[in-house]
């Protein structure tokens, strides 16, 4: 019995050791880079650039007005077109006026805007937004100063690795049990 437990533990340590190795390699690769973080994601195809700055910093719209499910669900949610039209049926654009025309065309065609995703964890990882919001973690801790410093979201501000998750869980005394993050 005791021996089996030891074997199981050894297996877990082997996995952890290989992970530590992979991460050490990743960080030494990154060290060669002049700008190791934030992490560059492959170029995304967006129908048009969504500027956070005029909404968040200028017009003081709350993140949750658009990312409506962040407090109660695993995913933050991306706003439906109806949310945009609440304003852009009347609010025209200046610098990106053509994009407002595109937006209205999607609405007329009754098509959702096909935004492509930037932040995404591996499929075997469970990331619940609501637990983090309830635990007092700020959007900016993970996504940077969206609206102030970041206008159009082009890249991932944090590495989204297991080490990144665990460091903060250690600091904030949150669970480090394998099964809370892995199915
Ligand atoms: C007026 C609506 C609106 C507001 C307010 C808003 N967002 Fe967004 N946000 C969007 C839309 C639309 C997208 C999808 C387009 C994109 O990814 O660039 C998006 C994308 C994002 C993404 C990237 C999602 C992905 O693809 O991984 C993050 C992170 C984000 N917003 C965070 C925030 C934060 C933090 C705030 C508040 C400081 C905020 N947003 C306020 C509409 C909004
Ligand atoms: C609460 C009102 C409100 C909502 C909701 C809203 N916007 Fe805006 N949006 C504005 C205002 C105000 C501006 C600034 C307009 C200006 O500077 O002329 C703006 C600017 C923009 C611009 C830049 C226009 C330009 O020419 O500079 C785009 C693109 C845009 N919004 C897209 C969207 C999308 C997509 C959504 C839905 C996800 C959305 N907006 C939701 C109020 C809103
Ligand atoms: C503890 C870190 C953390 C915090 C805090 C956080 N996010 Fe996220 N966010 C992530 C990660 C990780 C993903 C990718 C999740 C996935 O793939 O399931 C993500 C994905 C997103 C997305 C992509 C679309 C979706 O439906 O999930 C949006 C939008 C977003 N976050 C907005 C926000 C907003 C707004 C806040 C604050 C109210 C916030 N996030 C707080 C880490 C965080
Ligand atoms: C900036 C800090 C921070 C980061 C980064 C972070 N978390 Fe968390 N996480 C927390 C805190 C704090 C809690 C505890 C919230 C509570 O218990 O009220 C938590 C709770 C959780 C829970 C629920 C735990 C339980 O006891 O049921 C899961 C699952 C989780 N995080 C997954 C992740 C994953 C996956 C990542 C990386 C992709 C991540 N977290 C990154 C701070 C963070
Ligand atoms: C706080 C959340 C969290 C906890 C707790 C956690 N993991 Fe992970 N784990 C992750 C994330 C996020 C990734 C994905 C990393 C990536 O894609 O780079 C991951 C990836 C992995 C992988 C795959 C490695 C790879 O190359 O993708 C293994 C194996 C793993 N974890 C094992 C464990 C074990 C064993 C434990 C318990 C000792 C554990 N994890 C605890 C978040 C967590």
Instruction: Return d(Cα 92, Cα 109) in angstroms, integer.
Output: 19
Tokens of residue 105, six digits? 């065309």
Residues 8 and 68 in one domain: no
28 and 51 part of one domain: no
Q: Is the CB of 128 within 6 Å of ligand 4?
A: yes
Q: What is the pLDDT of residue 40?
A: 56
Q: What pLDDT is stored for residue 43 in this prediction?
A: 65
Q: 20-34, 93-107, 125-139, 161-175: lowest mean pLDDT where?
A: 20-34
Torsions phi, psi for 90 (to 5 deg): -115, -40
Q: Does 104 fall in a domain?
A: no
Q: How confident is the model at residue 41 (pLDDT cuts 50, 70, 90)?
A: low
Q: How confident is the model at residue 42 (pLDDT cuts 50, 70, 90)?
A: low
The reply to whether 170 falls in a domain is yes
Please give the residue range of the domain that contains residue 125: 45-78+115-181
- Give yes or no: residues 143 and 171 share one domain: yes
Output the ligand 3 site: residues, CB below 6 A.
63, 67, 70, 75-78, 119-121, 127, 129, 132-133, 137, 139, 141-143, 160
Encode pLDDT of 104-140 as tens digits. 999 999 999 999 999 999 999 999 999 999 999 999 9
Residues 1 and 66 in one domain: no
**Count of domains for the chain:** 2
* pLDDT for res 102: 96
Whether residue 105 lies inside any domain: the answer is: no
* Same domain for 16 and 53: no
Structure tokens at 1: 């019995």
15 & 58 share domain: no
Residues 71 and 32 in one domain: no
Q: What average pLDDT does the chain have? A: 83
Q: Which of 3-7, 31-35, 166-170 comes out lowest in average pLDDT?
A: 31-35
d(CA 41, ligand 5 centre) in Å: 20
Burial 131-159, CB ≥16 within 10 A → b, else e:
ebbeeeeebeebbbebbeebbebeebbbb
Per-residue pLDDT, averaged over 47-64, amounts to 95
The pLDDT-based confidence of 45 (bands split at 50, 70, 90) is confident
Sole residue written with tokens 């934030």: 38
Mean predicted confidence (pLDDT) in 22-27: 40
Q: Is residue 97 part of a domain?
A: no
State the pLDDT at residue 141. 97
pTM of the model: 0.89
Residue 155 domain flag: yes
Question: Does residue 153 share a domain with residue 134?
Answer: yes
Residues 133 and 167 reside in one and the same domain: yes
């Amino acid at each position: 019995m005791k021996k089996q437990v030891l074997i199981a533990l050894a297996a877990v340590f082997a996995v952890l050791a290989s992970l530590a190795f992979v991460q050490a390699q990743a960080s030494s690769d990154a060290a060669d880079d002049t700008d190791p973080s934030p992490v560059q994601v492959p170029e995304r195809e967006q129908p048009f650039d969504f500027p956070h700055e005029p909404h968040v910093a200028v017009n003081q719209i709350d993140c949750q007005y658009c990312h409506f499910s962040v407090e109660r669900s695993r995913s933050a949610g991306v706003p439906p077109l109806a949310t945009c039209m609440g304003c852009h049926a009347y609010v025209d654009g200046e610098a990106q006026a053509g994009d407002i025309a595109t937006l209205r065309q999607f609405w007329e065609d009754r098509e959702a805007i096909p935004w492509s995703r930037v932040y995404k964890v591996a499929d075997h990882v469970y990331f619940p937004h609501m637990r983090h919001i309830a635990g007092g973690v700020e959007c900016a801790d993970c996504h940077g100063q969206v609206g102030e410093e970041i206008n159009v979201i082009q890249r991932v501000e944090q590495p989204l690795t297991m080490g990144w998750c665990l460091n903060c869980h250690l600091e904030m005394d949150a669970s480090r049990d394998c099964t809370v993050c892995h199915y």
